[in-house]
Amino acid sequence: MVRRSPRWRAAKEEIDHVAMFAEEAKRIVRNSGLLMAYRKGTGLLLAANQSPLAGELLNEAGLRCAQAYVALGHNDRLSALEIAAKHARLAYTGHFWTATPCGGEPIRLAPGDEYFSSITVATSIEQMRDPIPDRIG
């Protein structure tokens, strides 16, 4: 007879700290950009910075999130998300994304860019719903 532990241990899932940090930083820039565009009555272009420096800074921020995650001894996704959100609030998000109010729809979007029309901006702010971009690059 084999003895088994009464405690069930779930398999640890692989957590991508860089992607979590990137999504939290993007959410911060998107929300502040939507408020700015709403006040001006325009659309919003959320542009991703694809430079090598931005990639290095993003990887470095993800590494800091992973170190904090390990140091605290957590093993769940919610804790990793809280750590990424904390680091994103403290980081300068201008390295990664730029929110620009724009009057009309852009002709082309680069990969990672998002465009929100003025109607989508107003609806998102007035109804407090999650913003869904009209076009994604």
Instruction: Name the E strands within the chain.
Output: 43-48, 97-102, 114-116, 135-136
The residues near 106 (Cβ < 8 Å, ≥ 6 apart) are 45, 113, 115, 135
What does the block give as tokens for 126?
């007035």
pLDDT given at position 134? 76
- Sign of the C-alpha dihedral, residues 70, 72, 76, 82? negative
The one-character DSSP state at 16 is -
pLDDT given at position 57? 92
pLDDT given at position 3? 47
pLDDT given at position 7? 56
pLDDT given at position 105? 84
The one-character DSSP state at 8 is -
Length of the chain: 137
Per-residue pLDDT of the chain (137 residues; tens, 9 = 90+): 544 555 555 556 688 889 999 999 999 999 999 999 999 999 999 998 888 999 999 999 999 999 999 888 877 888 889 999 999 998 888 888 899 999 888 888 888 888 998 888 888 888 877 777 777 86
- Percentages (nearest 5) of helix, strand, coil residues in the chain: 55, 10, 35
pLDDT given at position 106? 85
pTM for the whole thing? Answer: 0.80
